[in-house]
Chains A and B, each alone.
Chain A
């Protein structure tokens, strides 16, 4: 079965640079979530989209922005990168979040390293 695809899998950037992470949800899933997992920490919710509209916002810095496109893929744009942004970034997808569709399926993550 198709899973959530994230690209790139690894990314190395310098401080103050920008980065774009991409997420391709499971086919027919219309909701996308972004999470940030720092070293030794639990994943922290950043932002989510349902039907191309932002549905919920968590602890996402103002330097970050995201959007969901007409084909339901999503991109997380990160500017003015800081050392503390080094983390594993997960994307998860689900169906219209109701009932059992609340199960979120996670992608493999993008490991971002800021030097």
Chain B
């Protein structure tokens, strides 16, 4: 049963600390998406990659967020420095065509 995996599942950190979230897409999927979910804004697209190349990161705060895909089996989302307003659930999704499969999410709380 192929699934998207995300680590860590939960993260509590203090304001100003660096946070790194990791995603392992489904084997064979060539597109990886990062989304953020909050009560106020709902589900928002942050960035996505196709064949490891960044295609769109317009939804991401550029000054503190960065997304990379060092190889086909790993995508990372980094926040440095973190702020309380970054508290949210961060989802990774992968796709081969248009159907996107979501991971379980990383629940981030920045104090």
A, B: real partners? no
